[in-house]
Every structure is written in structure tokens, then in C-alpha cells.
């Protein structure tokens, strides 16, 4: 079973399904998103979408109401293609702790989504994940995925590791191999049993190779589509690994365990 552990809602969703089919991917984790770069037809329209992205990565997440449209898109995509998508839901971090916890209960668990993410705390504000992790623990240890590329800092990664050690029952996934701080991310995840490292947006094959060598049971194949491409991301993993059990775990085995996906859940005719 091949599982892409990092994808965002595409408009239209058929673009995503086509990309997954081209890569031989059975299922993909689907995160909500407000920017839609796949809609852009030229550089000005792409700049407009990236302005929305910059706001999200800067921690300007707004209220629960501001997330509602993106959550509706995830719910609709999962409902239409339950054999292909594993739905996650995001929550606003710049809110009071009780409001964050209520959002997890109502906007993630209440929608039947499998986890929380992709969370994007502002630089230096990774500590805002504390109430999310508490809520995730209260709901049986929901997996939590946090943005790992810029503007996430090395200090943010260290904060995440400290939070993970305080909440060992909650799987905490750092996405995009920790970005420019990938060496520190590998060390922190290696030394923190509740953490995982997702490999999308990796720009060095040797970084993927090292991460898998250090974390054979806690590295996850992901594409970050539509920003990345599932075909390219899968080839990167396959070039960095040797065929066999470890590669199988990275490409889907670990994700299946983490996200509660059984082999019987793969679509008929799946790879």
C-alpha cells in the first residue's frame, strides 16, 4: 500500500486523483487549505495565491469561521472519494486554549476526520500547539502534523520536541523534513519517540537517505501536492532507499499504522 502522507485539497479534486494515479499511490492524507496555487493561470494569479499562503504561514490564521470553507472542501473530497483520501482538519492556533480544544472536538472529530493538521504556527510560536496536543490526547491520541519548512525555525523544532515529550501518547509529525533545518530535525525526531518526519519538499537526496537511515520506522513519504508532485516525491524516496521492508514502510506501511488504514480499505484494484 502506497500512502502519500502530505497533500492539500485540489480544485478540481480530479487533478489530485490524476497525480496520485500517475504515481501509483493508493491513498493520500488530505489537509485543508485556503490558498489554491493549482488554480493560478499566470504569475500575477500565482502571486495572489501565495499571498494567502504567506498569511497562513505567518500565523494569521483567523477564527474558526475563517477555516470553515477549507474544512468543507476536505469533508467533501473525503466523502466523494473515501477510498483515496484520509481527511485531516486544521484549527486556529491564535485563540484561547478552550476555543482550540473545542475546535478539535467539533471541527476535526465531529467531522469524522483522522487527525489534526497541517498546523502553521508563526515563527517562534510553536508553543501554541500545547492545547492542540492536549485535545488530541483526549480524543485517543489523534496524530498531529505541523509545518516544517520555512518560516519554521530551529527553535520551533526544539519546542515541538519538548511538547512531544510532554505528550508522548500523541504522534507528532514534522512535515517537509524540517526544511532548511533538516539535520536538526532528524536528530530531534530520532531522540523523541513520539515524533515522525515527513519527507516532502526535500531538496537533497542525501537528506532523505540520511533521514530514512536514522528513522526507518518514523519517516513518511509525502508530496505536499499541489506544491510538490507525487511522482517526483516517490522517485526521490526510491532513489534514497533499497527495495525491501524499509522502503515499504516509508512509502506507506508506517503511515497505514499511524493513520489507522487497513489493507482492506485500499480501493479495489489498488496497487
What is the secondary structure of 5-18 as a DSSP string? EEEE--SSHHHHHH
Tens digit of each residue's pLDDT (9 = 90 or more) over 154-180 = 999 999 999 999 999 999 999 999 999
Average pLDDT, integer, range 67-88 = 94
Cβ(57)–Cβ(267) under 8 Å?
no
Return d(Cα 68, Cα 217) in angstroms, integer: 34
In this structure, of 55-64, 83-92, 148-157, 213-222, the range with the lowest mean pLDDT score is: 55-64
Q: What angle do CA 98, 99, 105 make, to 5 degrees?
A: 90
Give every CB contact of residue 72 below 8 A, 6+ residues apart in sequence. none
Tens digit of each residue's pLDDT (9 = 90 or more) over 4-32 = 999 999 999 999 999 999 999 999 999 99
Return d(Cα 263, Cα 135) in angstroms, integer: 28
Whole-number pLDDT of residue 263: 59
pLDDT tier at 63, thresholds 50, 70, 90: low
Residue 213, all three cell numbers? 537511515
Return d(Cα 118, Cα 121) in angstroms, integer: 10
Average pLDDT, integer, range 117-141 = 95
Whole-number pLDDT of residue 267: 44
Does residue 118 register a pLDDT over 50? yes
In the chain, the percentage of residues whose pLDDT exceeds 90 is 78
Average pLDDT, integer, range 36-64 = 79
Whole-number pLDDT of residue 62: 61
Average pLDDT, integer, range 84-91 = 95
Amino acid at each position: 500500500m502506497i500512502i502519500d502522507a502530505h497533500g492539500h485539497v485540489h480544485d478540481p479534486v480530479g487533478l489530485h486523483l490524476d497525480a496520485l494515479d500517475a504515481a501509483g499511490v493508493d491513498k493520500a492524507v488530505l489537509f485543508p487549505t485556503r490558498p489554491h496555487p493549482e488554480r493560478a493561470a499566470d504569475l500575477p494569479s500565482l502571486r495572489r495565491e501565495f499571498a494567502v499562503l504567506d498569511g497562513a504561514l505567518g500565523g494569521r490564521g483567523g477564527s474558526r469561521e475563517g477555516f470553515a470553507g477549507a474544512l468543507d472542501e476536505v469533508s467533501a473530497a473525503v466523502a466523494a472519494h473515501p477510498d483515496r483520501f484520509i481527511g485531516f482538519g486544521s484549527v486556529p492556533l491564535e485563540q484561547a486554549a478552550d476555543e482550540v480544544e473545542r475546535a478539535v472536538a467539533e471541527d476535526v472529530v465531529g467531522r469524522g476526520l483522522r487527525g489534526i493538521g497541517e498546523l502553521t504556527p508563526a515563527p517562534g510560536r510553536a508553543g501554541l500547539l500545547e492545547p492542540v496536543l492536549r485535545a488530541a490526547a483526549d480524543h485517543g491520541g489523534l496524530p498531529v502534523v505541523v509545518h516544517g519548512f520555512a518560516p519554521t525555525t530551529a527553535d520551533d523544532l526544539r519546542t515541538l520536541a519538548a511538547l512531544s515529550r510532554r505528550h508522548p501518547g500523541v504522534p507528532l509529525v514534522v512535515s517537509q523534513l524540517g526544511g532548511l533545518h533538516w539535520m536538526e530535525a532528524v536528530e530531534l525526531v530520532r531522540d523523541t519517540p513520539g515524533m515522525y518526519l515527513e519527507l516532502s519538499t526535500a531538496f537533497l537526496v542525501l537528506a532523505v537517505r540520511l533521514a530514512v537511515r536514522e528513522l526507518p520506522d518514523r519517516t513518511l513519504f509525502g508530496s505536499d501536492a499541489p506544491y510538490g508532485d507525487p511522482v517526483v516525491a516517490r522517485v526521490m524516496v526510491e532513489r534514497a532507499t533499497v527495495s525491501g521492508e524499509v522502503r515499504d514502510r516509508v512509502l506507506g506501511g508506517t503511515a497505514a499504522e499511524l493513520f489507522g488504514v487497513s489493507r482492506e480499505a485500499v480501493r479495489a484494484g489498488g496497487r
